[in-house]
C-alpha cells in the first residue's frame, strides 16, 4: 500500500527472530515459573493436609475439600453449559444472509475476525463463566452440607406451620439455587443477544424487522425462564417473611411477620406469583405466535402489580389500619416474636422474681455472719492483677502472662475455692538475642501454672499464691508443666530434632529438653521441608542443619485457632481458659452453633453484643464473630486443647441441639459424646461469658412476656457502663461463688446488673448457675427490683464511693507521689433483700510496677466502709465484729501465728529476738532477698527454740521438778512464722503473710 503519511519513506528495518539460545532460555524460564506457581499451590494444599492428619481430623479436611470440589465442578459445568449452549444456539439460528446496511457492513469485520477462532472463543467464554460460577458455588459448602444433612427441630413456625429446619437448612439452599438460576439466565440472555446481534439476528438501525423469528423465539424462552424464576422468588419470599428483619420501634432487628406482613405483603406475594406464572407462559407462547406484544404487556402488568400490590397497598394498610390502633393490631405478632426469641436464645426458662432491694433483718450481727454463707467474695480481680503475677512470678523475661487472667475453682482441703489462674506462656519479645534459631528452635514453650486465692491477699496486698515458683509447686500436685500451645503462642516452632530447647532456668542454670510429644508435622521428609519452606516463606527450613531426624513443626498453636480449624462450622467464644485436669494443662474452649434462620426470633450482631469494657481496652480478649448476625445460638460444644500435645477434643454438650446434630451427620466421628467428659474435667467447665452477654442483652427487652408491656417500652433495661474505668463500654460479667435467694448453698455463678433505660439506678440483678454437671447448670435467675423505689446502681455506688469525704481523702493520699489507684471489679451480691457492693482498690506506685490490693470498698443499706481488708470493711458496714477471721494458711497447710508472750525474762528476751528475726525476714521478703530471708528464718527458729526451752524449765521449777505436768502454753517452733518454709529454702514471693496481718477476705 502507498504511504499515506505524506513524508519520505525510509529503509525498512527487519527485526530478526531471537536466537535459539534465547528462545530456549525464555522457554525454560516460563516452564520454571509455571512449576513454581504449581508447587506454591501444592505446598498450601499439602501442608493443610499434613496438619489435619497430625491432629487426627483428616476427615474434616477431606469432607470439606470434596464438597468444595463437587460444588465447583457441578455448578461451574452447569453455568458453562448454559452460557455455551445459548451462544451455540444463537449462532446456529443466525440468518443465512445479513441485510445490506451500514450496521451490518461494520459488523462484517468482527465476524470475519473471529471466524477462525469461533470454537476457541466459545470454549473460552464458557470456561471463564464456569470458573467464576464454580468458585462462587464452592463457597456454599456449609449451605449444602446443612441442607443435605438437616435434622428436624421438632418445632413449627406459627404462620406456615413448617418445621424450623426448613428455614434454617432448606430455605438458604433454595435461595442459592434461585440466585444461581438468575445468574445463569441473565448471562445466557446477554450472551445470546450479543451473538444474535453480531450475526444479524437482531438489528438496531437496519431497515425492516428488528429481530428474526428464530432470535425472537430464543430470547423469549430465556425471558420466560427469567420470569418463571421470579415467580419462584415470589413464592419463597412468602416464607422469607418469617425470617425477615425490619425496623420496628418495639426492638432493633425485629424478625418475623407483623400485621402488615401477614395481611398485605403475604397476599401480595401470592398474587404476584400468579401474575409471574402467567407472564412466563406468555413469553413461552412466542415460540408459536412469533410476537412480543402479549409478553411485553404481561411483563408490564407484572411490574405495575409489583409497585401497586407489593409496595403501595402495604403502605396504605400500615398507614390507615395499623397506626391508628398499633398495639391491638401488632400484639398477636409480638407474642410470637417474644416466644420465638426466648426459645432461640435459650432464655425461655429464665426465672424472673421480685426483689425488694431493702434488707429485711434488723439484727446486723446475723447479716454479718450471713455474708460468708451467701458469697465467697472475690477481692482479687483477674483483670487487674496480671502485672502483679508478671512481676512476682515471671521469673524470666521470655515468659509472660495474659493481660486478663481467668477465674476457676479448685478443690482445696475438701472445699471448692475460687481461684485466679494464669499460665506462664512463652514471650519471644523477651528473648535477648533475636534470631531464627532462638525464635523457632530454642525458645519454644512456656512453663507452669500460677494460681492464687480469689478471696484473699497477703498483708502487702499481693496475691496469696496457691501454685507458684519455677517449676510450679503448690496445691495442684504433679502435672505436665510445659506449655507448647497457648493464647500468646502465635509463631511456629521446630522441636524434637538435634537442636535442644531451653526448658527453664533455676539457681543451677539453664535446663534443656527435647519435645517428646506426637504433635506437629514430621520434617524428616524433604518434600515436607520444601512445602513448609514455601508455605512459611522461610528457605532456611529447606537446608538448616538444626532440622534432622525427629524434627517436628508446631503451628496453629492458639486454642482458638486449633478449634476453629478442626470445626470450621463452630463459632468460638472469645475467652479460652486453662485448667489442670488429670495431670495435664488443658485449654477449655466454649463453642457455639448458630443460625440466622429461626422464624420470628429477633437477630443480634455477635460482635456488638459481646463487646464490653474488657474487649475495648484489651487486645487479648477477643470478640466473637465481629459482624456475624444470628437469631439462634447454643453452647453445643465444649472443646479442650492439650497445652503440651496440642490434642483437640470436641465434646457434645447440648445433646438436643439440631444444628449440632446436623454437623455431626456431616462430619461423623469428630464430636465425642457428652458421657466421655471425665469428672475431673467436668469440675472445671463453666457457663461461657459470650453466650451470657448475648442473653443478657436480649433480656433487657425480652424479660417481659406481655405484648402490651413490650410495645410500650416501659420495662426496657440496659446493661450499665463499667463504672471502674472510663472506656464507656458495658460492664463485663463476673464469675463468683454465691447463693441466690432461692438456693440452699453457694454455686459458681456468672453475674451482671441491669439499669433502667437512660437511668443509673438498679433495675435488676442477673445470675446464671455455672456449676457444670449439676441439675441447675444454665439456670438463669433474674431479681427484678421495684419500679416504685430506687436502689443505687453500679455507677451511683461508684459515685458514692468517690464523693464521701473520708474516702475521697483516703484516695487522694493513696494517689500521693507517683502512685496510681485502680478500681477492681465492682461485685454485687444479693443479701437478705438488699444488695451488697464490694470493690477492691489497688495501688500501683512507690517504685512498684504492679498493683497491690490496699483497700476494700463495701456498701450495704446506705452504710459505706473503706478499710484495709474485706473483713474490716464488712465489720464497719454492719457495725459488728462478726465472725472472727481465720489466719491465712501457710504453704504447708498450717497457719501463721504471732510469737507467743510470757512473763519470764529469759523467754521475753528470746521472743524479742524472734520478733526481730521475723521482722528482718519480712523485710528480706519484700526486696526479695532469699539469702537474707533464709538467715532470718534460722535465727527465728533458734530464738523460738530458746524461748521454748526457757519456758519448759520455768514450768518444771514451779512444779517441783515433777515431770507429770507439761506446760500447755510453751511455744513450739512449729508454730513459728517460719514454719511454712524450711531454713535455707526460697518461698514464693508474697506467700508468707505478716504475723500481725488480718486476712483480706
Residues sharing a CB contact under 8 Å with residue 991, sequence separation 6 or more, in sequence order? 458, 464, 465, 468, 890, 891, 980
User: What is the pLDDT at residue 896?
Assistant: 37
Do residues 977 and 992 make contact, with C-beta atoms less than 8 angstroms apart?
A: yes
pLDDT number for residue 302: 85
> What is the structure's pLDDT at 360?
80
The sign one gets for the Cα dihedral 696, 699, 703, 709 is positive
pLDDT of residue 954: 63
Going by C-beta distance under 8 Å and a sequence separation of 6 or more, which residues neighbour residue 17?
Answer: none
Question: So what's the pLDDT on residue 847?
Answer: 67
Identify the pLDDT of residue 927.
59
Higher pLDDT, 105 or 21: 21
User: Which tens digits make up the pLDDT trace of 193-252?
Assistant: 999 888 877 777 665 567 788 888 899 999 999 999 999 999 999 999 999 988 776 666
- By residue count, the chain amounts to 1001
Look at phi and psi of residue 474 and say left if phi exceeds 0, alpha if psi is from -120 to 50, else beta. Answer: left
pLDDT digits 0-9 by tens, 980-996: 333 333 333 333 333 33
Spatial CB neighbours of 318, under 8 Å, sequence gap ≥ 6: 260, 264
For residues 812, 813, 818 and 819, what is the CA-based torsion angle, rounded to 10 degrees? -90
What are the DSSP E strand ranges found in 275-346?
none
> Residue 897 above 60 pLDDT?
no
pLDDT tens, position by position, 909-950: 777 777 777 777 767 655 566 567 667 777 877 877 777 777
Per residue in 794-825, pLDDT (tens digit) is 898 888 888 888 888 888 888 877 788 889 99
Answer yes or no: is pLDDT of 291 > 90: no
Closest C-alpha among 46, 63, 47, 57 to residue 647: 57
Phi and psi angles of residue 66, each rounded to the nearest 5 degrees, phi first? -70, -30
For the CA atoms of 660, 666, 670, 671, the dihedral, rounded to the nearest 10 degrees, stands at: 20
- The percentage of residues in the chain with a pLDDT greater than 90, rounded to a whole number, is 54
Q: What is the mean pLDDT of the chain?
A: 84
Backbone angles phi, psi at 958, to 5 degrees: -70, -30
DSSP state of 71: H
Place of cell 458455588: 137
| pLDDT tens-digit series, residues 450-506 | 999 999 998 888 999 999 998 999 999 999 999 999 999 999 999 998 999 999 887
- pLDDT (0 to 100) of residue 16: 55
Rounded Cα distance between 824 and 725, Å, is: 9
pLDDT of amino acid 953 = 67
Q: How far is CA 218 from the centre of its chain?
A: 54
Distance CA 642, CA 519 (A): 10
Strands (E), 742-874: 747-756, 764-769, 780-784, 820-823, 827-831, 834-844, 852-860, 863-867
Is the Cβ–Cβ distance between 79 and 187 less than 8 Å? yes
The predicted pLDDT at position 362 comes to 77
Q: How confident is the model at residue 717 (pLDDT cuts 50, 70, 90)?
A: very high
Confidence of residue 609 (pLDDT cuts 50, 70, 90): confident
Among 169-173, 253-257, 391-395, the range with the most confident prediction by mean pLDDT is 169-173
**pLDDT value, residue 379:** 92
The model's confidence at residue 898, banded by pLDDT at 50, 70 and 90, is very low
C-alpha 322/C-alpha 320 separation (Å) is 6
Are 474 and 890 in contact by the 8 Å Cβ rule? The answer is: no
Model confidence band, residue 790 (pLDDT cutoffs 50, 70, 90): confident
Q: Which residue has the higher pLDDT, 360 or 737?
A: 737
pLDDT 10s digits, 947-979: 777 766 666 554 444 333 333 333 333 333 333
Q: Is the predicted pLDDT of residue 286 greater than 50, yes or no?
A: yes
> Is residue 422 within 8 Å of residue 389, measured between CB atoms?
yes
Q: What are phi and psi of 749, to 5 degrees?
A: -130, 160
Q: How confident is residue 19, by pLDDT bands cut at 50, 70 and 90? A: confident
Interval 684-695 mean pLDDT: 95
Mean pLDDT over 599-611 rounds to 89
pLDDT at position 600 is 95
Q: Does residue 5 surpass a pLDDT of 50?
A: no
Task: Report the pLDDT value the prediction gives residue 892, as an integer from 0 to 100.
Answer: 37
Average pLDDT value for residue range 860-889: 75
- Output 315 or 639, whichever has higher pLDDT: 639
- Beta carbons within 8 Å of 520's beta carbon, 6+ residues apart: 54, 495, 496, 552, 553, 554, 555, 646
Q: Which pLDDT does position 971 carry in this prediction?
A: 37
What is the reported pLDDT for 977? 35
Higher-confidence position of 341 and 103 = 341
| Residue 117 burial (C-beta neighbours within 10 Å; 0-12, 13-18, 19+) | exposed
From CA 584, how far away is CA 450, in angstroms rounded?
14
| pLDDT attached to residue 617 | 61
Interval 75-93: pLDDT, tens: 999 999 999 999 999 989 8
Res. 758: pLDDT tops 90: no
pTM listed for this prediction: 0.82
User: pLDDT at residue 554 above 80?
Assistant: yes
Amino acid at each position: 500500500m502507498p504511504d499515506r503519511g505524506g513524508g519520505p519513506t525510509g529503509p525498512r528495518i527487519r527485526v530478526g527472530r531471537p536466537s535459539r539460545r534465547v528462545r530456549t532460555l525464555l522457554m525454560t524460564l516460563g516452564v520454571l515459573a509455571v512449576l513454581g506457581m504449581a508447587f506454591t499451590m501444592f505446598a498450601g494444599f499439602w501442608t493443610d493436609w499434613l496438619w489435619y492428619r497430625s491432629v487426627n481430623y483428616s476427615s474434616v479436611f477431606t469432607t470439606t475439600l470434596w464438597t468444595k470440589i463437587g460444588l465447583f465442578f457441578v455448578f461451574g459445568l452447569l453455568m458453562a453449559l448454559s452460557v455455551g449452549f445459548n451462544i451455540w444456539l444463537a449462532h446456529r439460528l443466525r440468518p443465512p444472509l445479513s441485510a445490506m446496511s451500514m450496521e451490518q457492513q461494520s459488523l462484517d469485520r468482527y465476524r470475519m475476525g473471529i471466524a477462525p477462532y469461533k470454537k476457541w472463543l466459545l470454549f473460552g467464554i464458557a470456561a471463564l463463566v464456569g470458573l467464576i460460577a464454580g468458585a462462587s458455588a464452592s463457597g456454599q459448602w456449609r449451605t449444602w452440607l446443612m441442607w443435605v444433612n438437616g435434622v428436624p427441630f421438632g418445632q413449627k413456625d406459627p404462620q406456615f406451620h413448617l418445621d424450623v429446619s426448613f428455614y434454617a437448612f432448606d430455605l438458604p439452599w433454595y435461595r442459592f439455587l434461585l440466585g444461581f438460576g438468575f445468574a445463569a439466565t441473565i448471562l445466557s440472555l446477554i450472551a445470546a443477544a450479543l451473538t444474535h446481534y453480531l450475526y444479524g439476528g437482531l438489528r438496531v438501525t437496519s431497515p425492516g424487522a428488528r429481530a428474526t423469528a428464530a432470535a425472537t423465539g430464543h430470547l423469549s424462552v430465556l425471558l420466560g425462564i427469567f420470569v418463571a424464576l421470579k415467580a419462584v422468588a415470589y413464592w419463597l419470599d412468602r416464607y422469607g417473611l418469617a425470617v425477615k428483619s425490619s425496623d420496628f420501634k418495639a426492638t432493633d432487628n425485629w424478625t418475623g411477620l407483623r400485621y402488615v406482613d401477614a395481611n398485605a405483603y403475604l397476599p401480595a406475594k401470592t398474587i404476584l406469583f400468579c401474575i409471574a406464572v402467567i407472564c412466563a407462559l406468555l413469553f413461552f407462547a412466542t415460540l408459536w405466535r412469533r410476537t412480543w406484544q402479549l409478553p411485553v404487556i404481561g411483563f408490564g402488568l407484572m411490574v405495575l402489580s409489583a409497585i401497586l400490590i407489593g409496595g403501595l397497598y402495604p403502605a396504605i394498610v400500615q398507614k390507615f389500619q395499623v397506626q391508628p390502633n398499633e398495639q391491638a393490631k401488632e400484639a398477636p405478632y409480638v407474642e410470637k416474636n417474644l416466644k420465638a426469641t426466648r426459645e432461640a436464645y435459650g432464655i425461655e426458662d429464665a426465672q424472673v422474681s421480685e426483689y425488694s432491694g431493702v434488707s429485711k433483718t434488723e439484727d446486723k450481727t446475723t447479716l454479718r455472719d450471713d455474708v460468708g454463707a451467701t458469697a465467697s467474695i472475690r477481692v482479687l480481680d483477674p483483670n487487674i492483677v496480671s502485672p502483679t503475677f508478671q512481676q512476682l512470678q515471671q521469673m524470666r523475661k521470655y515468659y509472660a502472662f495474659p493481660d486478663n487472667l481467668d477465674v476457676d475453682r479448685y478443690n482445696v482441703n475438701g472445699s471448692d475455692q475460687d481461684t485466679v489462674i494464669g499460665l506462664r506462656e512463652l514471650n519471644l519479645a523477651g528473648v535477648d538475642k533475636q534470631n531464627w534459631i532462638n525464635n523457632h528452635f530454642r525458645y519454644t514453650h512456656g512453663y507452669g501454672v500460677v494460681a492464687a486465692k480469689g478471696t484473699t491477699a497477703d498483708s502487702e496486698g499481693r496475691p496469696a499464691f496457691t501454685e507458684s515458683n519455677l517449676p510450679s509447686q503448690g496445691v495442684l500436685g504433679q502435672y505436665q508443666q510445659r506449655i507448647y500451645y497457648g493464647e500468646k503462642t502465635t509463631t511456629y516452632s521446630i522441636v524434637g530434632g538435634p537442636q535442644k530447647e531451653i526448658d527453664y532456668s533455676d539457681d543451677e542454670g539453664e535446663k534443656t529438653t527435647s519435645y517428646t510429644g506426637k504433635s506437629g508435622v514430621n520434617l524428616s521428609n524433604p518434600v515436607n521441608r520444601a512445602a513448609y519452606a514455601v508455605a512459611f516463606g522461610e528457605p532456611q527450613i529447606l537446608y538448616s542443619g538444626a532440622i534432622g531426624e525427629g524434627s517436628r513443626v508446631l503451628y496453629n498453636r492458639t486454642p482458638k485457632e486449633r478449634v476453629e480449624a478442626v470445626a470450621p462450622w463452630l463459632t468460638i467464644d472469645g475467652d479460652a481458659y486453662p485448667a489442670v485436669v488429670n495431670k495435664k494443662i488443658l485449654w477449655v474452649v466454649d463453642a457455639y452453633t448458630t443460625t440466622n434462620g429461626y422464624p420470628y426470633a429477633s437477630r443480634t450482631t455477635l460482635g456488638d453484643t459481646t463487646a464490653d469494657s474488657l474487649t475495648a481496652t484489651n487486645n487479648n480478649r477477643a470478640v466473637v464473630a465481629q459482624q456475624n448476625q444470628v437469631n439462634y445460638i447454643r453452647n453445643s460444644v465444649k472443646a479442650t486443647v492439650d497445652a503440651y500435645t496440642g490434642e483437640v477434643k470436641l465434646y457434645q454438650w447440648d445433646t438436643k441441639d439440631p444444628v449440632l446434630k446436623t454437623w455431626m451427620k456431616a462430619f461423623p466421628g469428630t464430636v465425642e459424646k457428652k458421657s466421655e467428659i471425665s469428672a475431673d474435667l467436668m469440675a472445671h467447665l463453666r457457663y461461657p461469658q459470650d453466650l451470657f452477654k448475648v442473653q443478657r442483652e436480649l433480656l433487657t427487652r425480652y424479660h417481659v412476656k406481655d405484648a402490651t408491656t413490650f410495645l410500650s417500652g416501659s420495662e426496657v433495661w440496659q446493661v450499665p457502663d463499667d463504672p471502674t474505668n472510663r472506656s464507656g463500654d458495658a460492664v463485663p460479667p463476673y464469675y463468683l461463688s454465691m447463693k441466690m435467694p432461692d438456693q440452699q448453698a453457694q454455686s459458681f455463678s456468672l453475674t451482671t446488673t441491669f439499669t433502667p433505660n437512660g437511668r443509673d439506678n438498679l433495675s435488676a440483678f442477673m445470675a446464671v448457675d455455672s456449676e457444670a454437671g449439676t441439675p441447675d447448670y444454665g439456670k438463669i435467675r433474674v431479681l427484678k427490683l421495684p419500679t416504685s423505689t430506687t436502689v443505687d446502681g453500679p455507677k451511683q455506688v461508684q459515685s458514692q464511693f468517690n464523693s464521701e469525704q473520708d474516702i475521697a481523702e483516703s484516695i487522694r493520699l493513696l494517689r500521693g507521689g507517683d502512685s496510681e489507684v485502680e478500681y477492681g471489679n465492682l461485685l454485687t451480691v444479693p443479701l437478705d433483700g438488699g444488695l451488697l457492693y464490694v470493690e477492691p482498690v489497688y495501688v500501683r506506685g512507690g517504685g512498684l510496677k504492679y498493683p497491690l490490693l490496699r483497700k476494700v470498698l463495701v456498701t450495704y443499706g446506705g452504710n459505706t466502709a473503706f478499710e484495709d481488708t474485706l473483713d474490716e470493711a464488712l465489720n464497719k458496714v454492719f457495725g459488728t465484729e462478726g465472725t472472727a477471721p481465720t489466719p491465712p494458711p501457710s504453704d504447708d497447710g498450717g497457719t501463721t501465728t504471732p510469737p507467743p508472750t510470757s512473763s519470764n525474762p529469759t523467754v521475753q528476751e528470746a521472743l524479742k529476738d524472734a520478733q526481730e528475726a521475723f521482722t528482718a525476714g519480712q523485710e528480706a521478703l519484700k526486696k526479695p532477698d532469699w539469702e537474707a530471708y533464709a538467715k532470718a528464718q534460722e535465727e527465728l527458729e533458734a530464738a523460738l527454740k530458746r524461748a521454748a526451752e526457757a519456758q519448759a524449765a520455768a514450768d518444771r521449777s514451779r512444779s517441783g521438778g515433777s515431770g507429770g505436768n507439761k506446760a500447755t502454753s510453751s511455744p513450739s517452733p512449729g508454730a513459728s512464722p517460719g514454719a511454712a518454709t524450711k531454713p535455707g529454702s526460697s518461698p514464693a514471693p508474697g506467700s508468707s503473710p505478716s504475723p500481725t496481718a488480718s486476712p483480706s477476705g
